[in-house]
A = this chain, B = another copy of it.
Amino acid sequence: MPSPTVWERQTYWDRFRARHHRRTLLPRHVLIIGTINRRLIGQEGPGIEMAATPRRQPTLDEVAERAGVSRSAASRVINKAPHVSRATRDAVEKAIKEMGYLPNRTARALATQQTGIVALAVPHDNPELFADPFFAQVIVGVSAALEETDLHLLLCLASSGRGRARLTNLLRTRGVDGIMLMALHGDDPLTDIVARAGLPTVYVGRPLHTEPRWFVDSDNLGGARLATEHLIRLGRTRIATITGQLSTDAGEARYRGYREAMIIAGLTPHGTAEGDFTEDCGAAAMRALLDSHPDLDAVFAASDNLAAGALRALAEAGRSVPADVAVVGFDNLGVAERTDPPLTTVHQSVQDLGKEAARMLVAVIAGQQPASIILPTRLVRRGSA
């Protein structure tokens, strides 16, 4: 604590401050002494290790002073603006190097109205769901794309009401320059929240029944057709499907793709069970299908997880794959290689999904009008069909 003498001049305020101090947003290790120097560093008592050493970064003013130019001139050098003489530039650059100057992000953000941060919002209702490698791959893609810019990535798991409130707040307080939204269920309130914020927004996967101005998506419908046509080409005719949640666009599109392929081939859907993209659910759905359509000879599952569950159920039921029943999945995110037999599946490039979304967002933020993107899918043949 500062010595009493520093304080004795003041009375009421100090007492108030002493009480109030903890609750204010003052930076750590900051004590107030008079008005001149508000920051007092290294005032730790003996034995207390410091949380950090906030050796103050030099400011632009200090750089300018050292270089013997005005602050504006220094700023111009840093921002590579024109109208800077060689001499000025050199002097400033020298000062910058010597002082190890780096512009303060926050101050710049305030002046430019750009935070340099974009958000990726994931509506995860339950933690398990976020563990899906799908999210990880999107994040990897997004990061890769952002690495080429000077934007940083803020991750929002907006599930609960609390999480959504935080997100709303983040957007409305202009905490980010733009936002990427992961695939949503039909009536997710996030859509509204984000639209209301009026910030550049890119969707990763489309929400159900609305086409956002900007989105990146996989060709779910085409992929599902690919898968179904493959089964048809194999000579299967009694083809069932296990869908994902039909309240998501991906689930719905994949179901539609299956139906279209069947209709075009002159076949009729032979059993449909709705799942939720999880393995257990796939197994349950498969058992239900075997019950209702014991003669089925093929299954298109709307995800690899579902397909893995289906394989399990088929094995339990004593059906051999692919001899008795051919199975095709969707996603190709690692699981497919590890099933027995390995899964024939539709590949979607999730990293690219993230990468393109990030690039698109950057473009939108820059005021451009990029086109939305639908990424192609392709069939990967393995043992199950």
**Copies of this protein, total:** 2
A residues 117-143 in Cβ contact with B at 8 Å: 117, 124, 127, 130-133, 135-137, 139-140, 143
A residues 16-30 in Cβ contact with B at 8 Å: 16, 20, 24-29
A29 nearest CB across to chain B (Å):
7
Q: Could you tell me if A173 and B103 are in contact, using CB atoms closer than 8 angstroms? A: yes
* Residue A266 interfacial (CB < 8 Å): no
* Chain B residues, CB < 8 A from A367: 28-29, 51
A175 vs B151: C-alpha distance when bound (angstroms): 11
A94 nearest CB across to chain B (Å):
19
Q: Could you tell me if B152 and A153 are in contact, using CB atoms closer than 8 angstroms? A: no
Question: Which of B155, B173, B201 touches A154 (beta carbons < 8 Å)?
Answer: B155
Question: Which of B24, B52, B81, B169 touches A20 (beta carbons < 8 Å)?
Answer: B81
A200 in contact with B369 given A137-B127, A154-B153 (CB within 8 Å)? no
Q: Could you tell me if A152 and B154 are in contact, using CB atoms closer than 8 angstroms? A: yes
Q: Give the size category of A's interface with B.
A: 35 or more
A residues 77-121 in Cβ contact with B at 8 Å: 79, 81-83, 102-110, 112-117
* Residues of A that sit less than 8 Å from B by CB: 16, 20, 24-29, 48-49, 51-55, 57, 79, 81-83, 102-110, 112-117, 124, 127, 130-133, 135-137, 139-140, 143-144, 147, 150, 152-157, 160, 162-163, 166, 169-170, 172-175, 198-201, 213, 334, 351, 364-367, 369
